[in-house]
Amino acid sequence: MNQESRQCQACNTEFVIEPADFVFYERIKVPPPTFCPECRLQRRISFLNHRTLYRRKCNLCNKSIISIYSAEAPFPVYCPDCYWSDKWDSKNYGRDYDFSVPFFEQFKKLSQSVPHISLMGLHTTLINSEYNNLVSELRNCYLLFNSDYNENCSYGSEVEHSKECVDNTMIESCELCYQGVNLTNCYGTLFSVDCENCQNVWFSKSCMNCSDCVGCINLKNQKFHIFNQPYTKEEYDAKLKEFRLDSRRGIAEVAKRAQEEYLKFPNKYIHGRQNVNVSGDYINHCKNVRKTHIALESQECKYCLWLLVGPNKDCYDVSQFGDNLERVYDSLVCGKGVSDTVFSSFCVDNVTSLRYSEYCYNAQHMFGCSFMQRGNTYCILNKQYSKEEYETMVPRIIQHMNDMPYISQRGNSKIEYRYGEFFPPELSPFSYNETEAQEFMPLTKDSVAEKGFAWKEPSERNYNITIKNEAVPDSTEEIHDSILEAVLECAHRGTCNEQCATAFKITAPELQFYKRMNLPLPDLCSNCRSYQRMSKRNPNKLWQRHCMCQGTGDKYQETEGEGYKNTAKHFHGDSPCSNEFETSYSPERPEIVYCEACYQAEVA
């Protein structure tokens, strides 16, 4: 089949369906999409709430709980103990299929009648870790999201196998790390990005096997360096005291200088290693993975986000999780042995052949089911069928979805949802600004309405702020235990677009961490700090670009400031490199971006 250009129903831009895409759609027996990849992702993750938490009551046992659903949710919400108990059965909510009503209207009514679980995760593996979501195997952790196997960690997402870490995003096997993004096997690494096997490192980027460094980039196997210049241990220690990194003022000054230094050195076009034929970013140990953001040990996948656990194979448009996914399409939070599943969300643990289903565990052959578990099979709208009845009904329902599509009104235009598209955004139990969509694709309130999503006005907060932002202690030596009783004002004061909480408190373990690491208190709430870290991770978007390497010799890059002079021989000699690539560094950004070969020539 030839390549085709089509127009997205939602944004009206053209997108391309390649021959290999048609082969995949034919293999899993779905029609080609009518939405572009970006709109498909935006719609999926508008169903994903990682970090917006509420205090409410369990609708079964009536105890006070923490939940991703507010008290105003139109469905019952159960605490994990009640949800996984034998006190209710999801099949009791089953209903006959009505061929006179669009499928998505029927599904919405079912979804709003079945009890929802308050938080996602393996709650029996959590010890003293109540305020976390999409997690497992935590001990003494607080406000972690999409994280597993951690101890004494707080305020982070995608934190794995780590200890004593605060305010991090996408770290693996780290200890005593703070304000880090994309760190692996690091110890005492602070305000740093894309580092591996580093110790006692500050404000550094893309360093490996380094220790005692400040403001460095692209260093390997080095120690006692400041802004890429070597120092003796005595000189280094003296300089570190001069920086006053125990104060926010000192931290801000060094952070600004480090950002300026980063622009003088090349960046590899992709964050990843040991890959074959990949495009996207943050991809490791993958083969034939295209236009994907954050993936591990996967192959033959495309348009995916957060394939965090491998192996995975033959998946398109999957957002989050992994662990033996195969032939999964346009689905959200699926993993641990899921196959032949399309247009579904939160389906985990030995799941096969699900379509348009949500929150199903250890289930097979489901169509339009909600919160099914315990090995159920051959169900439609939570009603049990025989294998023969099910296989007769499903083709009829697909035909009905095409003959009587669900219509979504967008201003003066209408969008049709037939078989072959993920759930319409109005079926999401969350407002847009409660979800990961707001973090990855931030929108204003007006833009959200134009695109057909919902917007939630912030709840009225009656915080009695006891310390205004300008009065928050600037240095470590000014911090006293009495700060634990204070309510601190966030520096953004709710004026940002970052789900600002306007105020925050310091927890006892958090204060202990700051004192141990000789760090000042933060002046932003945890939501705003999360958004600030997200800005340090490249966006889930790709641009076609040329390598910026100008050749071996005395030629400098044409960038502002001093620029960068190559120090090694390159395969293209004194001429500019001709390599092209897709990269998440947009052409408007100031960084120097190299292809793999030129970057390795300079840094390896």
Confidence of residue 561 (pLDDT cuts 50, 70, 90): very low
Distance of alpha carbon 188 from alpha carbon 179, whole angstroms: 11
Distance of alpha carbon 448 from alpha carbon 443, whole angstroms: 6
- pLDDT given for residue 604 in this prediction: 66
Q: What angle do CA 117, 123, 124 make, to 5 degrees?
A: 135
* Alpha carbon distances (Å) from 507 to 127, 492, 511: 17, 20, 6
Average pLDDT over residues 462-484: 91
Confidence of residue 553 (pLDDT cuts 50, 70, 90): low
Residue 397 has pLDDT above 50, yes or no: yes
Confidence of residue 11 (pLDDT cuts 50, 70, 90): very high
Closest CA to 325 of 297, 303, 367: 297
The position carrying tokens 């299929």 is: 97
Q: Per the structure block, which two tokens stand in for 515?
A: 């004192």
CA 260 from centre of chain: 27
Distance of alpha carbon 545 from alpha carbon 467, whole angstroms: 48
Q: What are 404-408's contacts with CB under 8 Å, separation 24+?
A: 404/99, 404/101, 404/102, 404/103, 405/102, 406/102, 406/103, 406/104, 406/105, 407/102, 408/452
- pLDDT given for residue 463 in this prediction: 81
Residue 135 has pLDDT above 70, yes or no: yes
- pLDDT given for residue 12 in this prediction: 94
- Segment 562-602, tens digit of pLDDT: 557 788 889 998 899 999 999 999 999 999 999 999 999 98
523 three-state secondary structure: coil
Distance of alpha carbon 365 from alpha carbon 114, whole angstroms: 19
CB of 196 closer than 8 Å to CB of 206: no
Distance of alpha carbon 207 from alpha carbon 218, whole angstroms: 5
Query: What residue segments make up the domains of the chain, in order of their start?
Result: 162-268, 469-534, 542-604
Strand locations in 246-399 (E):
266-268, 272-273, 280-284, 287-290, 292-296, 298-302, 305-309, 312-322, 325-335, 338-342, 345-348, 351-355, 358-361, 364-367, 377-380, 383-384
Closest CA to 109 of 95, 88, 89: 95
Q: pTM of the predicted model, to two decimals?
A: 0.94
Average pLDDT over residues 502-526: 96
More confident residue, 301 or 497: 301
The position carrying tokens 């996967």 is: 298
| Residue 274 φ then ψ, to 5° | 55, 55
Distance of alpha carbon 519 from alpha carbon 248, whole angstroms: 8
CB of 302 closer than 8 Å to CB of 292: yes
Q: What angle do CA 597, 601, 604 make, to 5 degrees?
A: 105
3-state helix/strand/coil string of 189-211: EECCEEEECCEEEECCECCECCE
- pLDDT given for residue 404 in this prediction: 98
Distance of alpha carbon 380 from alpha carbon 392, whole angstroms: 12
Residue 31 has pLDDT above 90, yes or no: yes
Residue 461 has pLDDT above 80, yes or no: no
Distance of alpha carbon 250 from alpha carbon 263, whole angstroms: 21
Q: What angle do CA 105, 416, 422 make, to 5 degrees?
A: 65
- Segment 322-350, tens digit of pLDDT: 999 999 999 999 999 999 999 999 999 99
- pLDDT given for residue 556 in this prediction: 47
Other beta carbons less than 10 A from residue 508's beta carbon:
9
Q: What are 199-208's contacts with CB under 8 Å, separation 24+?
A: 202/245, 202/254, 203/254, 203/255, 203/258, 204/258, 205/258, 205/262, 206/267, 206/268, 206/603
Average pLDDT over residues 402-431: 94
- pLDDT given for residue 559 in this prediction: 45
DSSP 447-485: HHHHTT----PPPP------B-GGGS--BGGG--GGGGG
Closest CA to 302 of 315, 313, 311: 315
- Segment 251-272, tens digit of pLDDT: 999 999 999 999 999 999 999 9
